[in-house]
Structure formats: C-alpha cells, structure tokens
Amino acid sequence: MPKTNTRKKKLKKVVKKKIVTTPKPMGRPSKFKMDMCKQVIEFMKTGMSKFEIGLELNLSQDTINRWGKNNKNFSEAIKKGVDFSQGWWEREARLNIGNKNFNAVLWYMNMRNRFGWSDNAGLEGDKDISITLNYDPKKIKKK
C-alpha cells in the first residue's frame, strides 16, 4: 500500500508543474529585410512610385502598406522615397522646360495624379469674397 501513496504524490507533482510553450507564429514568415529600406530610397530617387517598388521587390501594395504600418524604418523609407520621387520629377521638368520634345501636359497630369497637385488656386468654398469696382464712365472710350 505505501507504493500507491508514493505514486499519487508523484502524479500530483507532475500535474502541478506548468508547461510553458511559446506560441508558434501564424502564417508564412515575412520577406522583410532591413536592406529593403535602402533599396526603396534608392529606387524612388529615380522617380519610381510605390507600385514600381512593388514590381521591383516582388511585393503587393497590401504588403508594402502593412510593412509601412508595422515597421517604423520601412515607413520612414517610404515617406522619404515619395519626397525623393517628387523631387526627381520636378527636376526632370526644370531640366527639360526648353526641350520641344518634352511633354509638359503628360508631366503635369503625372504630378496631379501621383503627388496631389491641383488647379485650385487656394480658394475654398463657403468663403465670402467682396470685390469693389471703381470706374469713371467718362474715362471709358466709346467705339
């Protein structure tokens, strides 16, 4: 009988011990590598867009956006890259302004679509604007 008692004590000790395991990560491992931040900046310095970055790095826009939300370094690289890309496009216009083969309309449409340029002169709706015209009818020449 004493053997059964010892066996019960051993079983109680085993039950009291908690087994701690680290959870396995779900899904496929990320392709993200820190050197991609440098690649993004270098690519965008040549005027590339985020979509072209996806093409070069074989990434979807969802992945690029998710990495931008989850990784501060990648987010900063994208922000810098967008600024550098806009700078590249502005330089292209400045350097080619006298070139008769430069398609200024296409360039302008690109800037509007990619960088949010608009024809708006800064006026917003619902603002009262008053204009006073002063004229002297005697000074108007009759034809």
> pLDDT by residue for the chain (143 residues), tens digit each?
555 566 666 655 555 556 666 666 677 788 899 999 999 999 999 999 999 999 999 999 999 999 999 999 999 999 999 999 999 999 999 999 999 999 999 999 999 999 988 877 665 666 677 777 777 777 776 66
Three-class SS state of 42: helix
Q: What's the rounded Cα separation, in Å, for the pair 57 and 41?
A: 13
Question: And the tokens for 44?
Answer: 């965008």
The reported pTM is 0.64
What pLDDT is stored for residue 102 in this prediction? 95
DSSP 8-state class, residue 61: H
Three-class SS state of 109: helix
DSSP 8-state class, residue 34: T
What pLDDT is stored for residue 21 in this prediction? 65
